[in-house]
Amino acid sequence: MHNDEDQTGLAIAKVLDDHRGEAHVIVLQDFPDPDAISSAVAHQLISAAYDIKCDIVYSGKISHQQNMALVKLLGIELLRYDRSLDFRKYAGSIFVDNQGTTAEEIVRELERIGTPPLLVVDHHEPQQRLAPLAADIRRNLGATATIYAEYLELGLVHMEKTKREHVMVATALTHGILTDTMGLIRACPEDFHAAGFLSRFRDADLLEQIMNQARSKQTMEVIHRALGNRVTVESFSVAGIGYLRTEDRDAIPQAADFLVTEENVHTAIVYGIVAGPDREEALVGSMRTLKLTLDPDDFIKEVLGKDTSGGFYGGGKMSAGGFQIPMGFLSGGESEEFRKRKWEVFDAQIKQRIFAKIGVRGQQSGANLSS
């Protein structure tokens, strides 16, 4: 581990030491992935060494098959945010694998009651949304789980193979690193080192069980829809998939993962309108790229820009990115004709912006409404 990382780990430890005996809330992005979930559990373990009790909170759903298996098999406790959850019992907030921009509902509530952000640990591009006491943001790494593995190796917790909770955390962190680096294909030296350290403690059989989850029928249908609706231009594959349920939201990045494997395609972008009875509609999309010179964070920010409050609609990391555009006033609508027109407008606008960015104009949207 490099000296700079030692110093960051010590800075994080100091913040925790200064807040001994408190209760903290760990905030995840609305739809957390294995990297976020595993990092949160690791932070929970580290915090316990400082007599700090942490709850892990998210707003959204956990729907990806591997994510559900990870939570169930490792016995991870997550709280889904709603207005009945009283944040006043927490002395501070911790953000892992996000910087507040993908957890706006929770961030606004914390700001309303005055709960201060204490720490941000992430590997995405700096977003400037929060002002924590300390931050460890390393975009060069493949996963936030790598950072937490470094904290454990630094000795913030003395890991023991005989302790079940240590084995569970190591297994979760390994899964986080593998999923965020495409099975180490996109890993940097630090990711490999972290995976090597965790291999001393993780449960290989349990990890295999988590990772070998079959795709659901709904996910396969979304991938099929993306294949049928895709438009390929200049090695970009762009697919609008229409409306889908909140429960199927995690099928969008899986569809992007699938489309980018097509011959002569280096970048895939898949998006759709996510609608649910308990959430405002939003246009949600995922981007995957194999082109090393293409920065998903810059690409998405330049294509989609900012909202009225000055926040970007999306961003990314090396090889992947995502975006979410709230529908606001246009949410809902019982009329099928209204839903169809709404989709056609958003689909055409997204494609127009993407094609303009890559220097191609006059493309037809090729959109089909799916429900």
CA angle 326, 329, 330 (to 5 degrees): 80
Distances (CA, A) of 128 to 125, 211, 267: 9, 34, 27
Please provide residue 326's backbone torsions phi and psi, each rounded to the nearest 5 degrees: -60, 140
Average pLDDT on 260-270 reads: 94
Instruction: Kindly state the average pLDDT of the residues 56-73.
Output: 85
Q: Do 297 and 124 contact (CB within 8 A), yes or no?
A: yes
Distances (CA, A) of 350 to 76, 103, 357: 37, 23, 11
pTM of the model as a whole: 0.74
**One-letter amino acid of 250:** D
* Cα within 13 Å of Cα(5), Cβ side: 18
Measured between alpha carbons, how far is 108 from 102 in angstroms, rounded to an integer?
A: 12
Q: Measured between alpha carbons, how far is 186 from 66 in angstroms, rounded to an integer? A: 19
Using 50, 70 and 90 to split pLDDT, how confident is the model at 362?
low
Q: Name 169's bridge partners.
A: none
**DSSP-derived secondary structure letter, 170:** H
Q: What is the mean pLDDT of residues 276-302?
A: 88
**Residues paired with 79 in a beta bridge:** 57
Q: Which residue has the tokens 């989609």?
A: 304
More reliable by pLDDT, 110 or 218 = 110
Q: What is the mean pLDDT of residues 251-278?
A: 90
Does the structure show a pLDDT above 80 at 64?
no
Predicted confidence at residue 3, as pLDDT, reads 62
| Band of pLDDT at residue 132, cut at 50, 70 and 90 | very high
Is the predicted pLDDT of residue 66 greater than 70, yes or no?
yes
pLDDT at position 369, please? 40
Question: Mean pLDDT in the chain?
Answer: 90
**What CA–CA distances, in Å, run from 118 to 23, 99, 254, 284, 361?**
12, 12, 33, 29, 46
Please tell me the predicted confidence (pLDDT) of residue 120.
97
**Would you say 270 and 239 are in contact if contact means Cβ atoms under 8 Å apart?**
yes
What are 302-344's pLDDT values in tens digits?
999 988 877 888 888 777 889 989 888 787 777 888 889 999 9
Q: What is the DSSP string of 302-328?
A: HHH-B-TTS-BSEEEETTEEEEEEE-G
Burial of 146 (0-12, 13-18, 19+ CB in 10 A): buried
DSSP 355: H
3-class secondary-structure state, position 143:
coil
**Domains along the sequence of the chain with CATH:** 3-211 (3.90.1640.10), 217-357 (3.10.310.30)
Percent of the chain scoring above 70 in pLDDT: 94
| Cα four-point dihedral sign 176, 179, 183, 186 | negative
Closest CA to 33 of 60, 59, 64: 64
Residue 371, pLDDT above cutoff 70: no
Are the C-beta atoms of residues 123 and 147 closer than 8 Å to each other? yes
Beta strand 53-58 pairing with 236-245:
unpaired
Answer with the residue of higher pLDDT: 178 or 320: 178
Average pLDDT rounded to a whole number, residues 46-57: 97
pLDDT of residue 60: 84
Residue 94, φ and ψ in degrees, nearest 5: -125, 130
- pLDDT tens digit sequence for 133-161: 999 999 999 999 999 999 999 999 999 99
The 10s digit of each residue's pLDDT in 82-124 is: 888 999 999 999 999 999 988 999 999 999 999 999 999 999 8
